[in-house]
Structure 1
Amino acid sequence: MPLIVPPSLTDEDGALTQACEDALVAIFEKYDVDKDGALSNAELDAFAKDTNGDVFDEDTRTEITEFLDLDDKGQLTKKGFLQMYNLQTSSEPEETWKDLQKHGYDSSLKLVASRSEDGDNSANKSS
């Protein structure tokens, strides 16, 4: 069976592809429950638990606050979220693929399932 190689998540300049960025923005917006354009600690914890099974450790939180874009309340902005994934993807694209898959994206970056929609979809399919 041939190995299926997913498309690159970055372009030749190292920037996230539009498809990758669109998927990540959708994930960010799902966790930005209060729709203020940034992830509070509780929202970031929910994202981390769904993605990695646990909240970020102190070292990771320190890196986020030191190196990524934050709002005036110290919360991770959409820009910062994309920065975080750009950094991860440039060094470990397979980790970004794992994260995208956990959030319901297939190898062509199409949303095929999501945690919050799983129950809704099963009801819709039976009609």
Structure 2
Amino acid sequence: MPLVTPPTLVDEEGALTQECEDALVAIFKNYDLDKDGALSKAELDAFARDTNGDVFDEDTRAEISEFLDLDDKGQLTLKGFLQMYNLQTSSEPSETWKDLQKHGYDTKLKLVASRNEDNDDRSNPTAAPSRNSN
């Protein structure tokens, strides 16, 4: 069986690839519950908890506020979210891969499971079984 090489997350110029950006935009939209184009403190906390197991510490929040794009309320915008991932991916692509996988993406950057699907299955014990036929 040939070894599968995952796609690169950044291009030659250091920008996020379109496939990577598409996945990150989808993740951002899942947490932007009020659909205002920015992550409030509560929305950012939910993202951080789901991604890293805990909310961002004060030092990380200060770095976000200082270096990334925020709206007029001090909330992280989609542009800032992508900036955050561009910085992380440029220095530690394996960390971005871990994050993408936690949010249901495979090594081809295809969504194979979402947290909502996982939650739906757990919260509905009478859900129809999957249709895996022999």
Q: Same fold (TM over 0.5)?
A: yes
Gap change, CA 1:12 and 1:123, over 3 Å in 2: farther
The count of aligned residue pairs is 126
For 1:107 and 1:61, the matched residues in 2 are separated by: 29
Q: Alignment RMSD, CA only?
A: 1.8
- Gaps in structure 1 of 5+ consecutive residues: none
Bigger radius of gyration, 1 or 2?
A: 2
User: 3-state DSSP class of the match of 2:73?
Assistant: coil
Residue 45 of structure 1: CA displacement?
A: 0.2
The C-alpha deviation readout for 1:14-38, integer Å capped at 9, x for no partner, is 0000000000000000000000000
TM-score by structure 2 length? Answer: 0.88
The equivalent residue for 2:89 is 89
Gap change, CA 1:123 and 1:65, over 3 Å in 2: farther
Gap change, CA 1:107 and 1:72, over 3 Å in 2: same
Residue 99 (structure 2) pairs with residue 99 (structure 1):
yes
The equivalent residue for 1:125 is 130
Identity of aligned pairs, percent? 82
Residue 117 of structure 1: CA displacement?
A: 1.7
Structure 1 stretches of at least 4 aligned residues deviating more than 4 Å after TM superposition: none
Look up the equivalent residue of 1:48 and give its one-letter code. A
- Gaps in structure 2 of 5+ consecutive residues: 122-126
TM-score by structure 1 length? Answer: 0.93
Residue 86 of structure 1: CA displacement?
A: 0.2
User: 3-state DSSP class of the match of 1:116?
Assistant: helix
Residue 3 of structure 1: CA displacement?
A: 4.9
The C-alpha deviation readout for 1:84-126, integer Å capped at 9, x for no partner, is 0000000000000000000000000000001112236x64835
The equivalent residue for 1:111 is 111
The equivalent residue for 1:6 is 6
Residue 51 (structure 2) pairs with residue 46 (structure 1):
no
